[in-house]
Amino acid sequence: MTNTSKLLRNNHCLFLAYDQGFEHGPTDFDEKSVDPSYILNIANESKAYTGIIFHEGIAQSYYDPNTETVPLIVKLNGKTSLHPNEEPYSPQLCSVDEAVKLGATAVGYTIFIGSIYESKMMEEFSRIEDEAHERGLAVILWAYPRGINVIGKEKDKDTVAYGARIALEMGADFVKVPYTGSTESFSWVVKSAGTTRVVVQGGAKVDEQTIFDEAIACKKAGAAGMAIGRNIWQSQDPISVSKKLASIIYEK
Amino acid sequence: MTNTSKLLRNNHCLFLAYDQGFEHGPTDFDEKSVDPSYILNIANESKAYTGIIFHEGIAQSYYDPNTETVPLIVKLNGKTSLHPNEEPYSPQLCSVDEAVKLGATAVGYTIFIGSIYESKMMEEFSRIEDEAHERGLAVILWAYPRGINVIGKEKDKDTVAYGARIALEMGADFVKVPYTGSTESFSWVVKSAGTTRVVVQGGAKVDEQTIFDEAIACKKAGAAGMAIGRNIWQSQDPISVSKKLASIIYEK
Amino acid sequence: MTNTSKLLRNNHCLFLAYDQGFEHGPTDFDEKSVDPSYILNIANESKAYTGIIFHEGIAQSYYDPNTETVPLIVKLNGKTSLHPNEEPYSPQLCSVDEAVKLGATAVGYTIFIGSIYESKMMEEFSRIEDEAHERGLAVILWAYPRGINVIGKEKDKDTVAYGARIALEMGADFVKVPYTGSTESFSWVVKSAGTTRVVVQGGAKVDEQTIFDEAIACKKAGAAGMAIGRNIWQSQDPISVSKKLASIIYEK
Amino acid sequence: MTNTSKLLRNNHCLFLAYDQGFEHGPTDFDEKSVDPSYILNIANESKAYTGIIFHEGIAQSYYDPNTETVPLIVKLNGKTSLHPNEEPYSPQLCSVDEAVKLGATAVGYTIFIGSIYESKMMEEFSRIEDEAHERGLAVILWAYPRGINVIGKEKDKDTVAYGARIALEMGADFVKVPYTGSTESFSWVVKSAGTTRVVVQGGAKVDEQTIFDEAIACKKAGAAGMAIGRNIWQSQDPISVSKKLASIIYEK
Amino acid sequence: MTNTSKLLRNNHCLFLAYDQGFEHGPTDFDEKSVDPSYILNIANESKAYTGIIFHEGIAQSYYDPNTETVPLIVKLNGKTSLHPNEEPYSPQLCSVDEAVKLGATAVGYTIFIGSIYESKMMEEFSRIEDEAHERGLAVILWAYPRGINVIGKEKDKDTVAYGARIALEMGADFVKVPYTGSTESFSWVVKSAGTTRVVVQGGAKVDEQTIFDEAIACKKAGAAGMAIGRNIWQSQDPISVSKKLASIIYEK
């Protein structure tokens, strides 16, 4: 079983994202969700996920590759939310070697599509992609439109499809993108990505039915699955939401 | 047979370019041309091409060096079209080593002649040229005038000839440049390039006869051939246009 | 005994900080405290400290790993106070290898959380963290909010908790942060740091009782201890203040 | 015979420069001089030169070290003339290793003295000087005053002498500088250069007698020789001008 | 005898500085002093110096380690005086390895304390300090306050003491600083430097008695010695001034 297939169930995927402590800060958390053990527990108990997303330090202290069953996705770069007026750049903060030591099945990296630092992140990602594939890890590109060149167009069909295409052109196994709002537009995103699997980002907490509808629409558009965080661990009943989502994503 | 001669037929060349998904985004494509397999099919069926141009990710997923017969040219750098107000810079996104693994016969790299980042791209290209020749690959320089210093002069005889000369001074085997509009002016471009073979870029979709006339004029000027993309895969009949172009380029 | 546990007594820690000659200049010192031997003497005589913080040069000339009993923490980066109008950046000035040669038990590094150079320091710290752990050293992150993005919020609960969280996400063993002013707010900082131990910075000289109260409050909030400098070596009676603080921090 | 002495005849030198295709573009050329073979032919036929200056690509395609008798000087850095409003920077575009493979006797490198990028070029040159001497090559510094700090003073005695001195302080074997206009002022340039040999740059085409007079004046000032290009290959009779210059430079 | 002790006589030092050709240009010289041999001659004849300061190129051509008796100090970085309106930065232009080959006893490096490029020079110096000590060379830091942050305060007690302290914190064996104007203030500089030996810079030519008085005052303040250039080789009688200074510096 390749590392890509370890991240799939019935050829689809559902990733539990927990990099928000880095990207947004602890304000996203409450007394329960601030604890990484709580998140791991949701993953283990719900059996809904084909991957869990951590930064290096949390993987190091909380994820034991010998006992955990949900595959580990190490997010290699990150930035804080303290820079609202700067063009977005997210530096590499964990090497592929470290990810291997932590027992990772895949690595994730964000390119802010449209940022004036886009070329710097592309260069970094191109090296990471080579190293990760060399070491047998799957590669997930967070292709997020951001910055002065794409303001107001972050979820437009053409912008999102461009990000998905870059993932294909650069050799990513998966690309994580925002939802474009309709099955029709999103199916163009999926086509643009070619053999690269498309994963929809969950985003901020919305009501449960909205998430379920989005999952259905994306799946219909040909997406491989979702990466979801706040809509799970900010929920009153994370296990049941996880299970319901899994049933949508994985049903044949 | 050296790698340079593999890219030639009757001492001329015709390259099928498909790096537009990176440079312009999927908006250049329709439902058919968005799929790299469609492009490969044109190349295989028409037997018109001495090279096909892909970025690393597409080569990885769609080009099998064991079965494909059209030589692979891996484009090593790229930039998105999302930066209209920034001076153009195109970073290296694939190593020469990776290109070798993908079965490449040649590598391509763009220098935006006149850009304020020209020196950075020249430095990068000079290393690539050494590595590629060391590994036996042919080297193609995209010498594209761009940026504040050459605005409005991108297709002028002197600007284009300067780019062609840089290719010679830096040791490229081929240089890809815009057409200057006449056989007379383009023949100065060819002379400036010395032993470096000159390839004309196809550009945006125009009517077929225009392309054929351009091919005839360039050949008369001493150019080695053309690199063509949109005028093929945006065409209603890509196979027949390909064959017609090939007959012009390769005829003795 | 791991290097982390060498820095602990009853699972708590008290560090004697003497990097102010670098960060503030000799104006912090008087005729006695300008001499590093005076500081070492306080550490040795009071037996209050589980670590002493020096830059490379001072460790080299004054700290003999064969005879000193207080564990050495080498501060790897530093900046002078001569740059009030520049966004703060603190470059690495000592390698992990050098720290090992000097007999260090731990290394320290400052990230100015919120600075426009934050990403540069994060990148540097991520490499240091790997190297130090590889060599068996403990890693202490100075997570100091600074710069235009956090002006006036340097000691706010959310800003300080964000810095503490970054330490966890990046794999630091300890994080040194400013005090947020109350046990309640600081306990959120401690929770955000997860398994990373939280150490309160001492700051400028205040009256002794204020420091003792702060130590009590932080300890109640779950902090591991304090890092203290000016309140000790600018004191009339450094030994007795040290002992009193130690009794607060280490008492069970 | 060391590589330095290979570049000398009667302890003097005359270099044929042909890096203008890079520095100025093909506009310097006519139908004859655009061809590097024409230049080599002048060198071979006139027997006037102790060195010929090419960039890597031209050396690669036109200079055969097994048959050519004029020593090769590879110019390692270069910039185009397309950047009139930018401070001048000239990046390294050929390694010392490549120069060795091409059969070079010496390498050349330009520092724009006074440019805001002066320090960057000095750093690069200092590495090149070490590598080249390690490999047995002679080192020629083009010390050209340029940029906002020296506008209007590019040929002043003090500015040119400063450049010549830098060549000595950095260990160049030869320094190529503009002529300061008189034997008296130029003799200070030569003294400032100490053991480093001073070579006068030829510059734009002027009438023949002017060049001969300059050669005589420089030689009287103690210069080692000249590096000349346009005044030769833009001449109606390059062979005879070459021979006349040679007789001035080499006469005892 | 360690390399540090080779630079001392009766535990004090007097260095003959000749890096002004780089830092100020040949305008500092006359027909005699422009020649490095003249300087070496002063050193040899006066027997007054425990070190002579050259850049790489001059050491290479004029200093023979097999016959010279005055220890060589190679200045590793340098900048020209052509940049009055730029913040000062002085790049490394000679490696420690080269200094070893040249027979150096010590290396020198300038940090412009207060410059906006201070952190860049600190980083560079920290690597040099490690390499030089590894190779057994002594390390001398030129700690010169310069740039917008310290304008008008370049010789203030606190600024100069800060520079001296940085030398200690970073592990320099010697620090070269400007004189602060009085024994009292300078003694604080010496105390701030701890175990790092303090050397006073000579500066521009003044009358002889002023220099002798300064030497006496600095010595009384605890300084190790002086580094002097223009006041020697611009003097009418360099040998006698050298001897007089030596008698002041070395007397017990």
Mean pLDDT, range C131-136, rounded to an integer: 97
Tell me the per-residue pLDDT of B184-194, one tens digit each, with 9 for 90 and over.
999 999 999 99
Mean pLDDT, range B216-224, rounded to an integer: 97
Q: How far apart are the first and last CA of chain B?
A: 21
| Total beta-carbon pairs less than 8 A apart between chain A and chain C | 91
| Residue D188 in contact with partner chain E when CB distance is under 8 A | yes
| Residue E162 in contact with partner chain C when CB distance is under 8 A | yes
Does residue B120 carry a catalytic annotation?
no
| Residue C172 in contact with partner chain A when CB distance is under 8 A | yes
Residue E125: which residues within 8 A CB-CB, separation 6 or more? E109, E111, E141, E170
**Are B104 and B70 in contact, with CB atoms under 8 Å apart?**
no
pLDDT number for residue D1: 60
Residues of E classed as catalytic: 144, 176
A122 closest CB neighbour out of B26, B93, B98: B93
Tell me the per-residue pLDDT of D227-244, one tens digit each, with 9 for 90 and over.
999 999 999 999 999 999
Tell me the per-residue pLDDT of B85-103, one tens digit each, with 9 for 90 and over.
999 999 999 999 999 999 9
% of chain A beyond a pLDDT of 90: 97
DSSP string for C202-216 = --S---HHHHHHHHH
Torsion over CA: C81, C82, C85, C90 (sign): negative
Considering B144, B162, B179, B250, which one is annotated as catalytic?
B144
Q: Which residues of chain E have pLDDT under 70?
A: 1
Cα–Cα distance measured from residue E232 to residue E242, given in angstroms and rounded to the nearest whole number: 7
Cα–Cα distance measured from residue B180 to residue B198, given in angstroms and rounded to the nearest whole number: 12
Residue A192: which residues within 8 A CB-CB, separation 6 or more? A161, A162, A164, A165, A168, B21, B26, B29, B34
Cα–Cα distance measured from residue E227 to residue E203, given in angstroms and rounded to the nearest whole number: 9
pLDDT number for residue A1: 61
Cα–Cα distance measured from residue E104 to residue E51, given in angstroms and rounded to the nearest whole number: 10
Q: In the Cβ-directed half-sphere of B105, how many Cα atoms lie within 13 Å?
A: 23
E178 CA: distance to closest CA in chain C (Å) = 17
A54 CA: distance to closest CA in chain C (Å) = 8
The encoded tokens of residue B187 equal 């023949």
Collapse the DSSP code of A183 into the 3-class scheme (helix H, G, I; strand E, B; otherwise coil) and give the result: helix
Q: In the Cβ-directed half-sphere of C158, how many Cα atoms lie within 13 Å?
A: 13
Cα–Cα distance measured from residue A162 to residue A152, given in angstroms and rounded to the nearest whole number: 15
Q: In the Cβ-directed half-sphere of E87, how many Cα atoms lie within 13 Å?
A: 16
E118 CB neighbours in chain C (<8 A) are: 79-80, 82-83
Residue in C112, C109, C81 with CA at minimum distance from that of residue C95: C109
Beta strand spans in A82-239 (E): 104-113, 138-145, 174-177, 197-201, 225-228
Residue B175 CB coordination number (10 Å): 29
pLDDT at B20 over 70: yes
Tell me the per-residue pLDDT of C70-81, one tens digit each, with 9 for 90 and over.
999 999 999 999
Helices A208-220 and A183-192 pack at an angle, to 10 degrees, of 50
The β-bridge partners of E104 are E72
CB contact under 8 A, D58 and B130: no
Q: What is the pLDDT along chain D (252 residues), one digit of tens a residue?
A: 678 999 999 999 999 999 999 999 999 999 999 999 999 999 999 999 999 999 999 999 999 999 999 999 999 999 999 999 999 999 999 999 999 999 999 999 999 999 999 999 999 999 999 999 999 999 999 999 999 999 999 999 999 999 999 999 999 999 999 999 999 999 999 999 999 999 999 989 999 999 999 999 999 999 999 999 999 999 999 999 999 999 999 998
Cα–Cα distance measured from residue D187 to residue D217, given in angstroms and rounded to the nearest whole number: 10
pLDDT number for residue C91: 98
pLDDT at B203 over 90: no
Collapse the DSSP code of C246 into the 3-class scheme (helix H, G, I; strand E, B; otherwise coil) and give the result: helix
Cα–Cα distance measured from residue D77 to residue D93, given in angstroms and rounded to the nearest whole number: 5
- This complex has an ipTM of 0.97
CB contact under 8 A, C130 and A95: yes
Which residue type is seen at E151?
A: I
Cα–Cα distance measured from residue B22 to residue C60, given in angstroms and rounded to the nearest whole number: 53
pLDDT at B3 over 90: no
Tell me the per-residue pLDDT of A80-90, one tens digit each, with 9 for 90 and over.
999 999 999 99
Question: Touch between chain D and chain C (3+ CB pairs, < 8 Å)?
Answer: no
CB contact under 8 A, C55 and E170: yes
B123 closest CB neighbour out of D56, D92, D98: D92
**Are D75 and D98 in contact, with CB atoms under 8 Å apart?**
no
Residue in A107, A221, A227, A215 with CA at minimum distance from that of residue A176: A227
**Are C210 and C230 in contact, with CB atoms under 8 Å apart?**
no
B83 CB neighbours in chain A (<8 A) are: 114, 116, 118, 149
Per-residue confidence band for C1, with pLDDT thresholds at 50, 70 and 90: low
Q: How far apart are the first and last CA of chain A?
A: 21
E218 CA: distance to closest CA in chain D (Å) = 31
Please report, to the nearest 10 degrees, the dihedral formed by the alpha carbons of residues D180, D183, D188, D190 taken in order. Answer: 90
| Residue B78 in contact with partner chain A when CB distance is under 8 A | yes
Tell me the per-residue pLDDT of C201-224, one tens digit each, with 9 for 90 and over.
998 999 999 999 999 999 999 999
Collapse the DSSP code of B126 into the 3-class scheme (helix H, G, I; strand E, B; otherwise coil) and give the result: helix
> Rounded to 5 degrees, what are φ and ψ at D34?
-65, -15
State the best of D22, D34, D80 to mutate against chain B, taking most chain B CBs within 10 Å. Answer: D80
Per-residue confidence band for B2, with pLDDT thresholds at 50, 70 and 90: confident
Mean pLDDT, range C37-65, rounded to an integer: 98
Which residue type is seen at B194?
A: G
> Rounded to 5 degrees, what are φ and ψ at C112?
-85, 95
| Residue B26 in contact with partner chain A when CB distance is under 8 A | yes
Chains with 3 or more CB pairs closer than 8 angstroms to E?
C, D
E64 CA: distance to closest CA in chain D (Å) = 14
What burial letters (b/e) apply to B127-142, b meaning 16+ CB within 10 Å? ebbbbbbeeebbbbbb
Tell me the per-residue pLDDT of D79-94, one tens digit each, with 9 for 90 and over.
999 999 999 999 999 9
| Residue A77 in contact with partner chain B when CB distance is under 8 A | no
**Are E206 and E229 in contact, with CB atoms under 8 Å apart?**
no
Residue in C209, C214, C213, C204 with CA at minimum distance from that of residue C234: C204
Q: Quick one: DSSP state of residue D12?
A: B
B150 closest CB neighbour out of D21, D82, D86: D82
Cα–Cα distance measured from residue C19 to residue C161, given in angstroms and rounded to the nearest whole number: 24
CB contact under 8 A, A26 and C192: yes
pLDDT number for residue E203: 86
State the best of E20, E22, E79, E82 to mutate against chain D, taking most chain D CBs within 10 Å. Answer: E82
C22 CA: distance to closest CA in chain A (Å) = 27
Residue B33 vs residue C1, higher pLDDT: B33
Residues of C classed as catalytic: 144, 176
> Rounded to 5 degrees, what are φ and ψ at B197?
-75, 140
Considering A144, A162, A179, A250, which one is annotated as catalytic?
A144
Cα–Cα distance measured from residue C241 to residue C48, given in angstroms and rounded to the nearest whole number: 9
| Total beta-carbon pairs less than 8 A apart between chain A and chain B | 91
E58 closest CB neighbour out of D113, D122, D168: D168
pLDDT number for residue E2: 73
Q: Quick one: DSSP state of residue D71?
A: P
The encoded tokens of residue A58 equal 């949390």
**Are D167 and D159 in contact, with CB atoms under 8 Å apart?**
no
Cα–Cα distance measured from residue D170 to residue D193, given in angstroms and rounded to the nearest whole number: 11
Cα–Cα distance measured from residue C205 to residue E224, given in angstroms and rounded to the nearest whole number: 34
- For B172, the closest chain D residue by CA position comes to D57
A195 CB neighbours in chain B (<8 A) are: 61-62
The encoded tokens of residue E119 equal 């952190």
Residue in A81, A77, A99 with CA at minimum distance from that of residue A90: A77
Beta strand spans in C32-153 (E): 51-54, 72-75, 104-113, 138-145
E123 CA: distance to closest CA in chain C (Å) = 5
Cα–Cα distance measured from residue B18 to residue B43, given in angstroms and rounded to the nearest whole number: 11
Please report, to the nearest 10 degrees, the dihedral formed by the alpha carbons of residues A223, A224, A230, A235 taken in order. Answer: 100
**Are A204 and A230 in contact, with CB atoms under 8 Å apart?**
yes
Cα–Cα distance measured from residue D151 to residue D156, given in angstroms and rounded to the nearest whole number: 10
Tell me the per-residue pLDDT of A113-169, one tens digit each, with 9 for 90 and over.
999 999 999 999 999 999 999 999 999 999 999 999 999 999 999 999 999 999 999
Full-prediction pTM beyond 0.90? yes
State the best of C120, C126, C149, C175 to mutate against chain A, taking most chain A CBs within 10 Å. Answer: C126
